[in-house]
Amino acid sequence: MTTNLVECINSVLKGARNLPITAFVKATFYRLNELFTRKRAEAKVWINAGHVFSDVVTSKLHANQLASGNIQVSCFDRQNEVFEVREMPSGLEFAVDLRGLRCDCGEFQVDRIPCRHMFACCANQRLDWKLYVHDVYKMDQVRRVYRARFRPLGNPTTWPAYNGPRFVPNPYLRRVSKGCPRMTCFLNEMDTRMLRRPRRCRLCGAEGHSCSRCRQSVGTNADGDAQ
């Protein structure tokens, strides 16, 4: 899982972001072509094999279905498909609204796939749980995402003449510093939260210092030198 769509493509463009603009655009073009071609072929193989959902979602659904075995279901409104479930042996209770697509645990609202509580309700009422899986996880939808096809660039000398406006770069925005450009990382809310966490030592587990400044590390090195 990623925080936004931009993070999904970062691994594809890794290593190309510091290239000059022309080389960067060309590398992006060829890498996206490779990604779309590979993903489109993988989706076709999965569909031909009879798979309805992606591999990751199938594993998650199977785990939720197994976890629904120790859940008791109480029906409150059969017509509107409202239930209350109780996990055993913890005794935790959750309200489930199948028609409203809501569970008190919150997992369904986030993942858009049936949680263990919804699996238990579907099994209790003999309902098809596949109806509650969002279409975005279906393999035919995945194949549509990568249906676009790229055309080869070919030799630039064979391209048709360009008669549009000519773009001139602003000379005042040109970099004047020498050496490799510095990378700037724009932090989101999740990254900011992670940076606020206190530093924890990997040796003693205490907070406020790293393993290189740990007293235990100093004592261990001293004992080794004495031996």
- Does 167 score more than 80 pLDDT? yes
How many angstroms separate the CA atoms of 60 and 1, rounded? Answer: 13
Contact 73, 121 (CB under 8 A): yes
Between these two residues, 106 and 175, which has the higher pLDDT value? 106
Q: What confidence tens digit (pLDDT) does each residue in 177-196 have?
A: 666 666 666 666 656 555 55
Q: Model confidence at 217, in pLDDT bands (50, 70, 90)?
A: low
Model pLDDT for residues 30-78, shown as the tens digit of each residue: 988 998 999 999 899 989 988 889 888 999 999 999 999 889 999 898 8
Nearest to 43 by CA among 116, 144, 178, 118: 144
Query: Is the pLDDT score of 168 beyond 80?
Result: yes
Residue type, 181: P
Return the axis-axis angle of helices 116-125 and 55-67, rounded to nearest 10°: 70
pLDDT tens figures, 71-82: 999 989 888 889
pLDDT of residue 55: 84
Query: What does the mean pLDDT of the chain come to?
Result: 82
